[in-house]
Amino acid sequence: MISSKQRSYLRGLANPLEPIFQVGKSGVSENVAEAINDALQARELIKVRVLKNVAQDPREVAEELAQATGASVIQVIGQNIVLYRRNPEEPVIDLP
């Protein structure tokens, strides 16, 4: 479980990041979830953009992605989602 202080720290780290994935009108497919899972393994902290033509709310998409990948939803702002999952073998980010 991530504390509010850690969540705040991760939001600060995610601020300059650009979204590396987009979720389109097909929603969260198995391929998208696998690609995001691989990116979380390598980077730990990523941004995902939800396109406007998606039928679901961005918060719903964020929860679905978090469940599919085992990640934590750090932030949902507008159409952007920030996800975090610690890499147990080679951690990239040291949380306070």
Mean pLDDT across 30-56: 94
- 46 in Cβ contact with 17 (< 8 Å): yes
- 4-84 architecture in CATH? 2-Layer Sandwich (3.30)
Side-by-side strand order, sheet with 72-77:
21-23, 45-50, 80-84, 72-77
The residues spanned by each domain of the chain are 4-84
Q: Which neighbouring-strand residues pair with 46? A: 83
Compute how many other C-beta atoms are within 10 angstroms of the C-beta atom of residue 38: 11
**pLDDT for res 15:** 95
Each residue's pLDDT tens digit, 54-89: 989 999 999 999 999 999 999 999 999 999 999 988
Kindly tell me if the per-residue pLDDT of 90 is higher than 90: no
In which residue are the tokens 């009108």 written? 25
Report d(CA 80, CA 18) in Å as an integer: 10
**pLDDT for res 26:** 87
- 23 in Cβ contact with 57 (< 8 Å): no
Report d(CA 84, CA 19) in Å as an integer: 13
Each residue's pLDDT tens digit, 8-39: 999 999 999 999 999 998 889 999 999 999 99
